[in-house]
Structure 1
């Protein structure tokens, strides 16, 4: 259920990267917000000062000014402090990486986003929380595993001097001087992953069937949307799509990409959907 914003005091936390990359937009945002509400502007120099400012917000409504990275950091801090559910968060996107903010419905223009902070509504949104207390606001993706690069073989003749360290060092120096530098080998192409994907305890795909990719996103009906793309053999394999509350992925040293970047390698991870776990101020819905 949406909650309507009311005139209140704002704590405007401006990320230092936003100040450096687009000072004009930051100035416009401050002017618009200060003209429509009582504001306290905070200019932290780094993540630690950012966290302290957020923790000391008191009754002020936090407004973060920055890119997707700043939004993710803010939600993660509030989640770890167990204050996310009771906080109405606002964001004004400034910077280069704004895909997540746009996906969530935040206007990407400085003036429009600042007006949405003042006139918008707080909407409850779902998110994913993993078993290491990490949060996912947008999409979780498990890309194909990438095999190690082949390592160049040791020059012929090196084994002949392996028992004499001083002679081996001299030999390698001579080889580097006389021989051309070997060409760097290109990375091997991505290979399929072998993963077990379980949704609400039921196995969707097992380790015996390789997959090209797995994606998990918070849905719109209080359930996580899961898509698994098996490796096709002959005819193209259809994606497997289900929804559920808990998703567990098991495999050998897999990595996954979330809003915050790439994590891993891990061998097992479980994500649980938390319904209406946080509130973001968005423009009012037009009739």
Structure 2
């Protein structure tokens, strides 16, 4: 870990530059440091990994934390502050830096500029906005949205009719392969996401009321904070022939249960679990955004 102190004219900032950002786009990192250092008294931290990232954030003192990195770095900072129970009293800023627009989609959906100079200026000249979060029953935090089932690594569902469920011969071949090849422990990473393997049968409850039950096969479920202290729940039933109309619900507490399922929370795939409850944490995140009058956007 390296720290670099810079003197300037206004607010004191703790600039934490994620190691991935330094590796994939050092020029954008340099620009962000220059713009922030020209407008505020900055302490620049270059953590070597997640442990040092957490340590520097915890030792920020009275400085406003600024994360320079991609969506995963943003979510890491929010999760750490939540676990320290310091989100309510902290305003977080972010300068998105990463390889490809896909790793910056969360920041963009929240209203953060994805251009380096514009984002750095927003840190210096923007205003705090309080955004709703989702907190699950294992104390995990979701900044953007929950998706069930998770998408594939390419960002798309498996094509209809291409699964073992709809092709019995494929299921037979897969069973034969499993008997010949030793099983390996399952690993879930953001780089290789599991594809959907057929319709899910899940019970979805919103504020204690059942929106859909186990007898209805589902294509997908999404849970997204709507900015009013509630979450919008969208359930897409399995369609046969004509597309089925989605089922919609709104509430503060959403529970999904049924057979083992995985879900995407922001940039991470979690599970499998048989039951998970998400509760809206109203105004849980203070984020610095441009003062353009435009409300924060949600994906």
| Same-fold status (TM-score > 0.5) | yes
- 2:268 and 2:105 map into 1 onto residues whose CA distance is 13
Distance 1:230 1:39 in 2: 51
Q: Say which of 228, 234, 238 aligns to 1:227.
A: 234
Closer/same/farther in 2, CA of residues 237 and 119 from structure 1, 3 Å limit: same
1:271 alignment partner in structure 2: 278
Q: In structure 1, what is the equivalent of residue 113 of structure 2?
A: 107
Work out whether 1:128 is the aligned partner of 2:128: no
Q: Distance in 2 between the 1:275 and 1:53 partners?
A: 27
1:259 CA displacement: 0.9
Runs of 4 or more above 6 Å deviation: 144-148
Q: 1:154–1:196: structure 2 CA closer, same or farther, 3 Å change rule?
A: closer
- The one of 156, 161, 175 aligned to 1:150: 175
Aligned pairs for 1:25-44 (under 5 A) are 25-44=28-47
TM-score normalised according to structure 1 size? 0.83
Distance in 2 of aligned mates of 1:189 and 1:38: 48
**CA distance in structure 1 between the aligned counterparts of 2:261 and 2:111, rounded to whole angstroms:** 31
Within-5 A mapping of 1:48-197: 48-96=51-99, 97-143=103-149, 149-152=174-177, 190-197=197-204
Q: Cα distance 1:202–1:9, how it changes in 2: closer, same or farther (>3 A)? A: same
Classify the secondary structure of the residue corresponding to 1:95: coil
Aligned pairs, number: 251
Task: Give, in whole Å, the separation in 2 of the partners of 1:54 and 1:107.
Answer: 23
Give the CA deviation at 1:275.
0.6
Structure 1, residues 105-137: CA drift from partner, whole Å, max 9, x if none? 111111111000000011000010000011111
Aligned counterparts of 1:153 and 1:230: Cα–Cα separation in 2 = 31
Alignment partner, residue 173 of structure 1: none
2:253 alignment partner in structure 1? 246
Superposed displacement of residue 189, structure 1: 7.3
Secondary structure class of the residue paired with 1:151? helix
Larger radius of gyration: 1
Unaligned 5+ segments in structure 2 are 1-8, 151-157, 165-170, 181-193, 295-299
How large is the RMSD of aligned CA atoms in angstroms? 2.2
Q: Distance in 1 between matches of 2:178 and 2:199?
A: 26
Task: Write out per-residue CA displacement over residues 185-226 of structure 1, whole angstroms, 9 at most, x where no aligned residue.
Answer: xx9973110000000000000001111110000112221000
Give CA deviations for 1:66-85 in whole Å, capped at 9, x if unaligned: 00000000000000000011
Structure 1 pair 188–268 and aligned structure 2 pair: CA distance change class (3 A): closer
Unaligned runs of 5+ in 1: 1-5, 156-186
